[in-house]
Amino acid sequence: MTKKVYVSGLTIDPLTNSPIVILKEVDGDQALPIWIGLLEATSIASELEKVKFSRPMTHDLYKNTMDLMGIRITGIEICDLKDNTYFAVIHFKVQEKEMDIDARPSDAIAIALRAEAPIFVNESVLKKSKSLEPNYKETVKTSEGKKWTEILESMNPDDFGKYKM
């Protein structure tokens, strides 16, 4: 079973300075943060902000090639979480045949935004991601770590703002 989500925004992890894409349920209040690379964050942010470049970026090139070949992206799915790594698939249709291709979530999201395709998260991923939280808290042993944990837990995701280009 999957849940439809949308890209709520991008933010920066204050501890690691890594970009995070925030996915939120369309018909619910659950959010899923996924740490991603800077280049993928830039690609996602440029599409969210409708920034156009004089030359196509990699995700634009992929989408343009798919369009040229008559391949329609029908959606993407964040389908698994193993060893703190998220996995995704891109669902597409060529002629009448439906196919899937493995992808990193950040690439799949960047492509889905360009194709205006729906984004889904498998419910098992949402459950697994919740189970990561207590393990994280147990690893915070130092007084500095405890202080940051308290600060971050008291914050609302809106406090982070959007990722600035």
Residue 112 CA to residue 50 CA, distance in Å, equals 14
Model pTM score: 0.78
Tell me the C-alpha to C-alpha distance, in Å, between residue 153 and each of 16, 135, 148, 149, 159.
Answer: 16, 15, 8, 6, 11
Domains in the chain, ordered, with CATH? 2-160 (3.10.690.10)
Which pair of structure tokens corresponds to residue 66?
Answer: 């798919």
- Residue pair 12/20 in contact by the 8 Å Cβ criterion: yes
- Residue pair 12/160 in contact by the 8 Å Cβ criterion: yes
Does residue 162 carry a pLDDT above 70? no
Residue with tokens 């249709």: 93
Longest dimension (CA), the chain: 59
**What are the tens digits of pLDDT across the range 66-111?**
999 999 999 999 999 999 899 999 999 999 999 999 999 999 999 9
Strand ranges inside 36-141, DSSP E: 71-82, 85-94, 97-103, 119-122
